[in-house]
Amino acid sequence: MSVGAIQDLRVKIDQLDEELIRILSARFSLVEEIGNLKVASALGVVDLERKARVLARFQMMASESNLSAEFTEKLYELIHGEAVRRQASESC
């Protein structure tokens, strides 16, 4: 494999990284909207049933995409943790 081919692949990775950040930003904007609605409705920040459903969906998608269950669970916990942090700050 040539240095040029490696660089081409790294450019593609960089583009995907940018897309990941944009997608996460959009996701967290929705999370904040949900947080505002939860505050207005006097609902708690964490919905354990929803968390379990989303984690199961993450794991199913990961399995279909050849990603490890451990990686997927860690990724989801990071995303969920940030969502909880953002929604908790909305309720203060």
All domains of the chain, ordered by start, with CATH? 3-90 (1.20.59.10)
For residues 76 and 58, the answer to whether their CB atoms sit within 8 Å is yes
Work out the percent of the chain whose per-residue pLDDT is above 90. Answer: 95
* Tens digits of residue pLDDT in 2-52: 999 999 999 999 999 999 999 999 999 999 999 999 999 999 999 999 999
- The predicted structure's pLDDT at residue 11: 98
* Tens digits of residue pLDDT in 45-54: 999 999 999 9
Nearest-angstrom CA–CA distance, 41 and 35: 10
